[in-house]
Amino acid sequence: MSSDDKAKTILVTGGSRGIGKAISLELAGKGYDILFTYNSDSKEAERTASEISALGVMADSMQVDLSSRSQIESFTTKFLEKGIRIFALVNNAGIYDGSTLNEIKDEEWEKIIGLNLSAPFYLSRNLNNSIAEGGSIVNISSVYGFRADPWAHGYQASKAALIHLTRGLAKELAPRIRVNAVAPGYIKTDMNRGGWESESFSKWITKSTPMKRWGEPEDIGRAVSFLINPSNSFITGHTLAVDGGIGL
């Protein structure tokens, strides 16, 4: 067994709630220790850490605003100083902004590109040498990385670029590390609570989705677990749509 075989920690950004929490719990259930980040809600992070450790693995959380270049640097410096080895990095933290071209302000564009695209890039650059051989990076993109509405330009551009970043990094980091992405459809989280709590919109999404339901965060957790699983070691550079068919 090489020392890398012992790396059993997974770093999940935005792991305190929503999809990131479901990913963390799914991977904890598979026996991985979980280190997750959050931005603003320390109480929620504490609750999630307790739920993870109840599964019998180690859970730790760190606060970092990943839309801030300087905070990313201090986060990764602390991480490297501690000499933490990880089996996978899951770039999940993200925000949505539905502005149209004439509405979006410079700082909103920069924030969404910073968090949804630049943070996965900088974390991959700064931490790829801390990922064990045979490990993975998984980027959480979106069905809106493939399709487009006439608004949400920052969101859509960031998610499309993340898919292409996934492909390039997969080629560069192979065969040591695999890099894949997941493109969720409409998933019931706080991010689109307004959508699934509105009866008419919620029904419209259900009707438009071939599988006739909204996605649950756990659907994405299972997909990430599949991509990280070393048994799937021939899959790299792939973006797995987990969208009930709405992106078809």
Ligand X SMILES: NC(=O)c1ccc[n+]([C@@H]2O[C@H](COP(=O)([O-])OP(=O)(O)OC[C@H]3O[C@@H](n4cnc5c(N)ncnc54)[C@H](OP(=O)(O)O)[C@@H]3O)[C@@H](O)[C@H]2O)c1
C-alpha R_g of the chain: 17
CB of 115 to ligand X, least distance (A): 5
The DSSP secondary-structure symbol of 10 reads E
CB of 128 to ligand X, least distance (A): 20
CB of 180 to ligand X, least distance (A): 15
Q: Name which of 171 and 212 has its Cβ closer to ligand X.
A: 212
The contact set with ligand X (CB under 6 A) reads 14, 16-20, 37-41, 44, 64-67, 92-95, 115, 140, 142, 184, 186-187, 189-192
Nearest-5° angle of CA 105, CA 106, CA 107? 95
Q: Name which of 3 and 40 has its Cβ closer to ligand X.
A: 40
- Measure the CA–CA gap between 106 and 85, rounded to whole angstroms: 37
Q: Name which of 119 and 132 has its Cβ closer to ligand X.
A: 119
CB of 163 to ligand X, least distance (A): 12
Q: Which residues contact 136 (CB under 8 A, 6 or more apart)?
A: 87, 88, 89, 177, 178, 179, 180, 227, 228
Tell me the three state secondary structure of residue 183: strand
Task: Please give the positions annotated as active site.
Answer: 155
Q: Name which of 132 and 162 has its Cβ closer to ligand X.
A: 162
Burial of residue 140 (CB within 10 Å: 0-12, 13-18, 19+) is buried
